[in-house]
Amino acid sequence: MDALLIVFASGLISLFAAFAKKPWLVVGSAMAGLLAAIIVIIGQLQTGKAFFDFLKYEGLAFDQVALLFSLAICVLTLLIVGIGYERFKENPVHTGEYIGLLLFSATGAMIMTAYTDMFMFFLGLEILSIPIYVMAGSNKADVRSSEASLKYFLTGSFATGVFLFGLAWVYGATGTFKLQEIQLKIQEMDTLSPILMIGVLLIMASFIFKVGAAPFHFWSPDVYDGAPPAVTGFMASVVKIAAFFAFLKMFAFCFGRGELYDFWKGALVVMIVITLFVGNLSALRQVKFKRLLAYSSITHVGYTLLLFVSQGDVAGTLWFYMFSYGFSIVGIIAVAIAVNDSEDRIEGLRGLGKRNPFLAIVGIVALLSLAGIPPTSGFFAKYILFSSAWENASWLVIIALINSGISIYYYLKVLVTIASPAEQEQEKIKLSPLTIAVLTIALVGMLGFSFILPFLY
């Protein structure tokens, strides 16, 4: 709860700090707030005590797992605030609104990690989504940005409608909105009512929409392509962490009863297979960098969905996977922003090793991590994920491994482009200290995670 309040307050402060017309002040207050939130969360994880103990609401429970996920959200948001700053140095208008919305969105994500009833889930989902609709269109001069915003808005609110309709049916079957009571009611039923099944299917459809898995993935390449790069990074990392954890909690906890599990598992398995192949095969023929990342993110969603059919410490695996994926995506987006190719082609990265060796190193490590090649954290995350799913769904894991193999092709293609020399001499890229700091943190995250892993497990 403390961290939630701090992030929200620093969002408000950065909104008002914008009146001073100094972008560094806005970004500074946002970063200070996020750092304070991170420190508070770590403190709470160690002592187990909240600072504002008297502030309690039964709909939100910040237990150990929720705190760990909030930590991941705060760290990644901090990095994204850092990489978004470059844009405002030339054009400081709307810095406050952009950073403020980013922090409010992170607040929604944190609510989604800690919810215990559907009121909070719904509010968290909307607090997370509505600022992103605006942020996706924050590049007002660019039609493509506004178009991405409209597309995200329409699909997002459609998914919300589907979710609510499903929720209404679940309410009709169980008569409550609390997770605990829903679970109890479902356990007590003699036979599963069809009303409940319709509800669960609709909620699952909306979830598939929100995380952008096939067959409801069509919006995500367009939106990722059109939105400003920092917002793309936010959508690919923080939003996915929050959505995955929230729905995992709902499905594993509430709808985990034997017959019901078999019912939605059947639908999910089909979707995992489609998602993996659609994401990978479309990524193979992309020439634009952000579109490639969008399709690769669809594939990663496919891998992550394996968690719903696996067993063991599912939340821990999800945390590790999404955190390391978040670091990789933020790293690669930071590289793309620094290169600043107006047409955003993969070819624009050619000769990066000459232009700035540090950028090239971060880019290469991020690509290796996305592809899942040791010693990056992406490899270990994928390894844990696949081994936890192996027992329940070994044939799915084999399909995922085949897809991993395909994906290495397009990651290596980009990697080779970065490493190979350009035809004509290009100017060197100068990095600001903030960008260097973000890149370093992402690099440490991608490599360091693999070293601390033995201590975690």
Partner 1 sequence: MLLATLFESGVKIEHYMVLATALFVIGVFGVLYRKNAIILLMCIELMLNAVNLLLVAFSTYFGQADGQLFVFFIMVVAAAEATVGLSILVLLYRNTRSTDIRLFNKLKN
Contacts by 356-359, CB closer than 8 A, 24 or more apart: 356/428, 356/429, 356/431, 358/431, 358/436, 358/439, 359/335, 359/429, 359/431, 359/439
Local structure of 136: helix, strand or coil: helix
Cβ atoms of 128 and 244 closer than 8 Å: no
CB of 233 to partner 1, least distance (A): 18
Q: Which stretch binds partner 1 (CB under 8 A): 151-159, 182-190, 238-246, 354-362?
A: 151-159
| Residue 186 binding partner 1, by CB under 8 A | no
H-type alpha helices, 91-175 = 95-114, 118-136, 143-174
Query: Which residues from 261-320 bind partner 1, rule CB under 8 A?
Result: 287-288, 291
Name the token pair of 385: 């994920």
- Residue count at the site for partner 1 (CB under 8 A)? 41
**Which residue from 16, 19, 57, 119 is in contact with partner 1, where contact means CB under 8 A?**
119
Q: Hey, is 373 helix, strand or coil?
A: coil
Provide, rounded to whole angstroms, the least separation between the CB of residue 185 and partner 1: 12
**Which two three-digit tokens encode residue 109?**
């994500």
Burial 209-233 (b: 16+ CB within 10 A, else e): bbbbbbebbebbbbbbbbbbbbbbb
**Out of 123, 201, 399, 453, the residue judged to bind partner 1 by CB under 8 A:** 123
Q: In whole angstroms, how close is the CB of 221 to partner 1 at the nearest point? A: 8
When asked if residue 124 is in the footprint of partner 1 (CB under 8 A), the reply is no
d(CA 50, CA 291): 42
Nearer to partner 1, 149 or 403 (CB): 149
Q: Least distance (Å) from partner 1 to the CB of residue 270?
A: 21
Q: Which is nearer to partner 1, 169 or 411 (CB)?
A: 169
Q: How far apart are CA 398 and CA 394, in angstroms?
A: 6
157 vs 392, which CB is nearer to partner 1? 157
Shortest distance (Å) from residue 308 CB to partner 1? 25
Q: What number of CA atoms fall less than 13 Å from residue 386's CA on the CB side?
A: 18
Which of residues 2 and 225 has its CB atom nearest to partner 1 in the complex? Answer: 225
Residue 435 φ/ψ, nearest 5 degrees:
-60, -40
Query: What is the contact mask toward partner 1 in residues 224 to 263, using x (rule: CB under 8 A)?
Result: -xx-------------------------------------
- Residues of the shown chain interacting with partner 1 in the complex, contacts defined by CB under 8 A: 118-119, 122-123, 126, 130, 133-134, 137, 140, 143-144, 146-151, 153-154, 157-158, 160-162, 164-165, 167-169, 171-172, 175-177, 222, 225-226, 287-288, 291
